[in-house]
Structure 1
Amino acid sequence: MINLAYPTAPAEVIEQLSVSSFVDGLRDPENSQLARHKTISEALAHALEIEALKKASRVAITRIEINIRRRRKLVTICLIHYWSFSNSSRTDETLEAYREWRKKTDSLLDVWS
């Protein structure tokens, strides 16, 4: 649609307008940082990664709650981490911390299973 609205605009301008429109269309204000991406594909990939990690964090908590009798301390750590993930205003830092946390907890769960 942007191409139709601005048929003579350079490709860079079209891409910037596409990213801006994409970010404006998102309901989650936390994703407003996606505007820093230069292409629509980068912004979309980042948005999908954020959504996948949010869903994965819910799964991780459910998975660990099964072991609550055996490892109460781990459950507490997971719940605190989930809260900070879902309420963080610095999503990039939180995503990286979440990836590291998942690696550690997944390896611990493999050992305890």
Structure 2
Amino acid sequence: MEMLLIREDLCLVKTTTNAIDFWNALRDYHEKVTVTSRVSLLRKLCNLNLLEGGDMEAHLFEVEELFSRLENADLKLEQPIKIAMMLRSLPDSYGGLITALESRSDEDLTTELVKSKLLDEHERQRE
């Protein structure tokens, strides 16, 4: 991700002495934690859908980015909710995989496993 600093941003970071403080100053200013910002992020997540034949890798990156932004807004989603949000965003062609994943026990089902299976299925469908 490319970041362009504007004049107003320079004022926010001019006293920072390291990269973490620099990033936190920008994040705190631009990602204000409000009910409105949380609702906006949740809306984006709920409205995010992979189109049939779409790029799964880019889709999962976007989903993870929204999860991260929600966590930064003090709204951490539990793993079962994250998995449900990933699965609900898929087109009908992933129905068989979704059913197979939903039949697994909660202990076996992790976000990493789901992402891996989704990427495998995407590759299979492309072939």
TM-score range, shorter chain: 0.3 to 0.5
If you compute each CA radius of gyration, which structure gives the higher value, 1 or 2?
A: 1
Structure of higher RCO (CA pairs closer than 8 Å, 6+ residues apart)? 2
Greater helix content: 1
